[in-house]
Amino acid sequence: MNDTIRKAAFVTPSDRQLAWQRLEFYSFIHFGINTFTDKEWGLGDEDPALFNPTAFSAKQWVDVCKSAGMRGLILTCKHHDGFCLWPSAYTEHSVKNSPWREGKGDLVREVAEACREGGIRFGVYLSPWDRHDPRYGTDVYNEYFKNQLRELLTQYGDVFCVWFDGACGEGPNGLKQVYDWDGYYEVIRELQPEAVISVCGPDVRWCGNEAGHTRESEWSVVPAHLQDIEKIQEKSQHVDDGAFSRLVRSQDDNLGGRDAIRDAGQLVWYPAEVNTSIRPGWFYHAAEDDQVRSVDKLLDIYYKSVGGNSTFLLNLPPDRRGLIHENDAANMAELGRVLSATFSRNLASGADASASEEADGLHAAGSILDGSADTYWCPLEGTEQASIVVELPQEATFDTIVLQEHIQSGQRIEQFSIEYEEDGAWQPLYRHTVVGYKRICRFPEATAKRLRLTIEASRWCPTFSAFEVYLSTKS
């Protein structure tokens, strides 16, 4: 088991995975023909003439995203109905046959350009399931799909993510498609090598639900076979009774824990993304205007996802005008205000730190306080338990501590605790399992000058690149 644990400790993210993880919080935009038919899943027989947003503004979408602190946007360029938001050369079922912009519009282009101008990243969702195209269910369809990938990946600038779900229902001819996943991946790696391939792909794993829930212990290092399970399953419907079903139904599964990796064979870096919608549906429905998630609920999901070694993909469905509704926009702006106010003042800035052990001068305890993601503390190799005492510049009241491992060196921490000093004695404050890219520890307000972080269990040796202390702002 020791060899397995050491091997797991040295599994690390690719550059593309690390860049994606640092985005932390970004949007899904479900917009298309379903917006105008009041459906979630179109049948594929919709008339393109229905698509006609009267006040479409990609800038408004980007502004709403930025108001909440989001760093990216993923657009549903084609959903299961097969209607394309760009004038694809490979189908007539697209905006080129709609009255919008007199048939000369390209919504994908406008959104991509608005993202660049607004300083956020742009990503694409392209549904493999197509309920419109008669080629679906044949080998020819795979070539059609790859041709559309090529259009999206060569005409709209850099793409940070290609997001696939695995929905695989019947097409208009009653057939189901055998997807050429490996062929799709080859196209993406060739044309956008820095883009992560998410969910039904090798780079980013679905957390297992669309409710915004996360596991208590979300490991980024997992058995390699999970990549294949994700690739072949339908993401949210008709889940099999096999391993994937058990995986997604139990949010307490410790996917990368010692029991999971003991007989796993190959291990991979396969981090989790949490996705959910700000409304009950994924596309806009006027009947849901009063069912927008509250700021408090969004904050809870944010803290548990971004603060639970995952990223947070939040869907914002524009309405028939082509605008994100005022109710959604208001809650996003307030969410951003609270997050900005909470994390604007790090109470550990200027603090001192001392550790029970340090590997060398380059990895001293003070590295956790310098604000750099590239520097880090670690003890000697093979030391799996250690502690760090942080002394704040002055006594302070706080209720949030942010921890980060140096994941460029791997994910290693299995259990840790935080205490605060009161009248010369250490008092328990917070205890949890994994840290990973980021752990946001939240607890009732405490007041202290000295804090102690204890790593109770880790793989090979732990690392920490950040220890930050905050007092949260209420919504």
CB crowding 344-371: b at 16 or more within 10 Å, else e: eebbbeebebebeebbeeebbbbbbbee
pLDDT at 232: 55
Average pLDDT over residues 162-187: 94
pLDDT at 2: 77
Sheet holding 72-78, edge to edge: 196-199, 161-164, 121-126, 72-78, 25-29, 310-315, 272-277, 205-206
pLDDT of 218 > 60? The answer is: yes
Residues 265/223, Cβ–Cβ less than 8 Å: yes
pLDDT at 235: 45
Average pLDDT over residues 95-101: 98
pLDDT of 441 > 80? The answer is: yes
> What share of the chain in percent tops pLDDT 90?
86
**pLDDT tens digits for range 43-63:** 999 999 999 999 999 999 999
pLDDT at 231: 61
Residue (of 411, 397, 402) closest to 444 by Cα position: 397
SS3 state at 12? coil
Structure tokens belonging to residue 308: 């639970």
pLDDT of 454 > 70? The answer is: yes
Residue (of 475, 452, 453) closest to 462 by Cα position: 453
**pLDDT tens digits for range 279-316:** 999 999 999 999 999 999 999 999 999 999 999 999 99
pLDDT at 253: 62
SS3 state at 443? strand
pLDDT at 230: 60
Distance of CA 76 to CAs 130, 245, 326, Å? 13, 26, 21
Average pLDDT over residues 60-84: 98
Average pLDDT over residues 30-50: 98
pLDDT of 241 > 80? The answer is: no
pLDDT at 201: 95
Compare 182 and 230 and report the one with higher pLDDT.
182
pLDDT of 251 > 50? The answer is: no
pLDDT of 150 > 80? The answer is: yes
Beta partners for residue 273, in sequence order: 206, 311
Average pLDDT, the chain: 93
pLDDT at 407: 98
Average pLDDT over residues 19-45: 98
Distance of CA 32 to CAs 15, 154, 181, 290, Å? 33, 22, 25, 22
pLDDT of 147 > 50? The answer is: yes
Question: Alpha carbon 33 to chain centroid distance?
Answer: 26
pLDDT of 250 > 50? The answer is: no
Q: What are phi and psi of 181, to 5 degrees?
A: -55, -45
Average pLDDT over residues 128-132: 97
